[in-house]
Amino acid sequence: MDLRLLEYMLRVAELGSINKAAVDLHLSQPTLSRHIVALEHEMGTKLFTRNQGGVTLTEPGKLLADRARPLLRQHAILKEQVGEMAAGQLAIGVPPSWQRVFTSPFVKTLVAQYPEIKLRVHEGVSNILRDHLLAGILDLCVIPFDPSPPTGFRQTPLVREPLILMGCADKNLNSSQAIPLSYLNGEKLVLPGRPNVLSSQVEHMLKRKGMVFKVAVETDTLGLCLDLAREGIGYTIMPACTLHDHAHITDTMSWAPIQGLYLTWALNESLARSHSQAVHEGRKVALKTLAASLEAKVWFGAEGMSGLLHASD
């Protein structure tokens, strides 16, 4: 069906007159009449009742009009999205702790190599980024590895890094000596709000060993977690990449890796957008940027996964 016929029908219905609608649509009256007749023929029923005052919808016409309006709205949205794709849109979500170890060099490289791509960067905690990915807001997204990823998305394991315990300077944590999980037993913690993979992982590990998981403050802001830990409100637990992102940490806080606690990050890609050239190029730049960051040996304890190594060849 030619969707223009539905648009013509709705305009006639709104104005109650073929003549008025023809003027509004910049068509001749006979031309618009032929379009309406063609639509009625395709539907197999009369859509308008004609009278001296103009036209009104029949019952089948009212049904078609009610169903046509959302259909045309969806068509307009789809057309806009396809147009954005053709124009080179790329939306990527990354954790805040990746800003210097990945995000800034990624943006710099992509803008330099592909100036025609319109880039949108979303920073946020993992559960928010995952929701954005599932809602279609993001094309690419770096979030913790999911053993059961949702259908319609491709997941590439990237990096495994240690989780580190961070506290105020007088806690005297030794960065060269890993601490056991038992160190966290009953300690006040400042963590990202749940649902969050990091918080859930720590809670699960402590409770599995019969230890006390005690949260003093929940917040979704990385900077606030660090500030509160620096002020002695409680310890916070962060991925090791946070050290690279916040160089002042070593001067104002103490930290140590936690034995046996790691976080694996993965690149998630919407398969609905995988045929976009902008997404394709963005994925390549992301993998190469991450591989270069690991090669530079500035990321404490990070190990590249096989997915990253193969994808960046």
3-state SS of 176-189 is CCCECHHHHCCCEE
In a domain, 297, yes or no: no
164 and 237, same structural domain?
A: yes
In a domain, 58, yes or no: yes
Q: What is the pLDDT of residues 67-86, one digit of tens each?
A: 888 888 787 766 666 655 54
Which of 50, 80, 110 is the C-terminal boundary of a domain?
80
At residue 310 the predicted structure's pLDDT band, cuts being 50, 70 and 90, is: low
116-120, 166-170, 254-258, 304-308: least confidently modelled range: 304-308
- Whichever domain contains 235, its CATH number is 3.40.190.290
116: helix, strand or coil:
coil
Distance of CA 297 to the CA centre of its chain: 28
d(CA 235, CA 187): 7
Kindly state the average pLDDT of the residues 17-45. 91
In a domain, 131, yes or no: yes
In a domain, 45, yes or no: yes
Inter-axis angle of helices 3-15 and 18-25, nearest 10: 120
The pairing of beta strand 303-304 with beta strand 214-218? unpaired
Domain that includes residue 33, residue range: 3-80
At residue 267 the predicted structure's pLDDT band, cuts being 50, 70 and 90, is: very high
One-letter amino acid for residue 34 of the chain: R
d(CA 9, CA 255): 69
Q: What is the pLDDT of residues 188-225, one digit of tens each?
A: 999 987 777 888 889 999 999 999 999 999 987 888 88
Number of domains in the chain: 3
275 and 153, same structural domain?
A: yes
94 and 74, same structural domain?
A: no
Judge contact between 115 and 144, C-beta under 8 A.
Answer: no
110 and 27, same structural domain?
A: no
Peptide bond into 195 cis (omega under 30): yes
In a domain, 299, yes or no: no
Kindly state the average pLDDT of the residues 291-313. 78
In a domain, 236, yes or no: yes
Output the six-digit token pair for 27.
């068509």
In a domain, 296, yes or no: no
234 and 148, same structural domain?
A: no
